Structure 1
């Protein structure tokens, strides 16, 4: 088989893979949009070629999609790539086993980078390996902090391992590949959160540290979403009330104030998984707004409500706090996040302020149909 035929077969395999998943599938969308470099190979074809990769992988490697499709991942290896690491990768592929390894790779222009590589086999219902899924993390700039990075990755992988047994039944509810992508996205979010947390602790600049903690807050909210989706028996759907209760508990507990009174009125509202992430950001921004306006400084009262309303459902956060001067930039960014997420959901936001009491109501349609 010549190179042209092999490239054609690899591209056709990738097109078939994309055709199997709807464009609104949250996991497929995450694969394409995430800044974490990811790719899929087909071991059933000669030399296990790449059949699909996202834009982040093209940017990392310096190769275009046309140059990558049909090629084996060894094109990233170079002069100083550790032969032992290469051997471990080959052994894992041959054994059809999971692998995480740090390896020195090279871009198209010959420049080296340290790559935290994760590889997982994807099996069909018969147990046959039909794809290999791989994600990469360029940690060249923090190579000197290798021990901290290894510890963060170890913690993330331990948590993934603890969830593996619980995921078995959940994986049957969706196509096998979609679940494997979601599994890896969760792992990557945990790794990213660990790295951001480490950088925030090391930073001596107050502004940078505040910005990193703001990013970490939202990454952890999305990580909670992924964990809820994976642990739920029906992974195609998402219980807003269950998530909201855990999020408000985590955020308020982190403040470590005894003068905060939390009340809830939560009723099960199940929505498609495609809406999970924007809904999570809506709840996170509403609670975070109350914290910034005074809840985190002087305490106060906060009430969280989730319920159905005649074909719609309501997310309501009301608070009574003694106001403090909030960071204008953070307030503006939070408002933009809230408005963007609400627009994505087709939701309506109503806000009323009476003295020190603020009440925000977000209403949107309940999607009753199954994905």
Structure 2
């Protein structure tokens, strides 16, 4: 089993090729020597020509070249050393040697103790007329994405650290890349990749359907059927973030554990509006079931802590049921979550 977060992330290929965002995203770990990359999205690999395997474990400076201005590099380094957000237009180079101008925003991602755990880099290639576009106009778009990413990652890190005395980056980030991709699918749904969005709500039917289909495609296997029954519903972005992460945890858990030594099975995902307002999410399977003597969500696991923290943040309730075959988990989010029909 891998020993470090970087090895764990590199091992986790489950969502490779999933995201289609046009804004590149990089996560680096300042707790390791030379602050290496531990995550890149597919937009980064498309833009730079460097595969994930060729990027992870290296400092971002490998994108620099002979004509990269030292002043830009110094500005970037100073912001990172001060653990402050910094924006710079910097000349980078693709894997084939082709230069391109990159609008880069780097910001620290802090845990609930205010300690920087990662740096998030949001970058967009500047082309043609964008070269003359004011920094303020493009920055407004990228900063909105960066703020959302940093906020959501901080939330996950805080939940992972809950009930943990560890002050170092824990080794149980095995599925961190999947969680980042779950969030990024939300950003895509918000259309933040292409233009600044002033929306404060999200279409949950589209988001959860895409998320469930993607996880089923990657985590599922022949013989395991998946059915979706998701009503059209629009909710605040903060609610969508938490509900999407909950669904990601529950579905992944079902695919990985519910059908041990079983060739055939069914996973159901249902979401509906509650008559008094709010929403209900149900994830059910007809597999081996969660043992009666097992605590769930398990506070000793990352996934369990994340689910509990997300439900608490939603002021919701979770009920675990055990059927004749398998288990079903019902999550109710109170009134105020649902806004309007799509």
Q: TM-score normalised to the size of structure 2? A: 0.50
Does residue 85 (structure 1) correspond to residue 46 (structure 2)? The answer is no
User: How do 1:335-350 residues align onto structure 2 when only pairs under 5 Å count?
Assistant: 335-350=304-319
SS of structure 1 residue aligned to 2:222: coil
SS of structure 2 residue aligned to 1:105: helix
Using a 3 Å threshold, how does the CA distance of structure 1 residues 118 and 188 change in structure 2: closer, same or farther?
Answer: farther
**Alignment partner, residue 184 of structure 1:** 146
Does residue 119 (structure 1) correspond to residue 96 (structure 2)? The answer is no
Using a 3 Å threshold, how does the CA distance of structure 1 residues 279 and 176 change in structure 2: closer, same or farther?
Answer: farther
Structure 2 spans left out of the alignment, 5+ residues: 1-26, 30-34, 36-65, 90-102, 110-120, 131-136, 152-168
Q: TM-score normalised to the size of structure 1? A: 0.47
Q: Cα deviation per residue 1:20-48 (whole Å; 9 max; x = unaligned)?
A: xxxxxxxxxxxxxxx989xxxxxxxxxxx
Question: Is the Cα–Cα contact under 8 Å of residues 272 and 367 in structure 1 kept in the other structure?
Answer: yes
Higher helix share: 1
Larger Rg: 1
Q: How many residues align?
A: 225
Does residue 309 (structure 1) correspond to residue 274 (structure 2)? The answer is yes
Match of residue 180, structure 2, among 219, 226, 236: 219
Question: Is the Cα–Cα contact under 8 Å of residues 219 and 256 in structure 2 kept in the other structure?
Answer: no
How much does 1:103 deviate? 7.2
How much does 1:307 deviate? 1.1
Using a 3 Å threshold, how does the CA distance of structure 1 residues 315 and 179 change in structure 2: closer, same or farther?
Answer: farther
- Alignment RMSD: 5.1
Q: Cα deviation per residue 1:121-178 (whole Å; 9 max; x = unaligned)?
A: xxxxxxxxxxx9942579xxxxxxxxxxxxxx8xx857x889xx9xxxxxxxxx9976
User: How do 1:132-211 residues align onto structure 2 when only pairs under 5 Å count?
Assistant: 134-136=105-107, 157=123, 179-185=141-147, 211=172
Measured in 1, the distance between the counterparts of 2:337 and 2:258 equals 35
Structure 1 spans left out of the alignment, 5+ residues: 1-34, 38-59, 61-81, 90-100, 121-131, 139-152, 166-174, 190-207
Question: Is the Cα–Cα contact under 8 Å of residues 36 and 135 in structure 1 kept in the other structure?
Answer: no
Question: Is the Cα–Cα contact under 8 Å of residues 351 and 358 in structure 1 kept in the other structure?
Answer: yes
Using a 3 Å threshold, how does the CA distance of structure 1 residues 84 and 276 change in structure 2: closer, same or farther?
Answer: same
Q: Cα deviation per residue 1:106-127 (whole Å; 9 max; x = unaligned)?
A: 699xxx89x997537xxxxxxx
Q: Which has the higher contact order (CA 8 A, sep 6+)?
A: 2
User: How do 1:190-269 residues align onto structure 2 when only pairs under 5 Å count?
Assistant: 211-230=172-191, 235-255=199-219, 257-269=221-233
Question: Is the Cα–Cα contact under 8 Å of residues 258 and 326 in structure 2 kept in the other structure?
Answer: no
Using a 3 Å threshold, how does the CA distance of structure 1 residues 268 and 216 change in structure 2: closer, same or farther?
Answer: same
**Alignment partner, residue 303 of structure 2:** 334
**Alignment partner, residue 8 of structure 2:** none
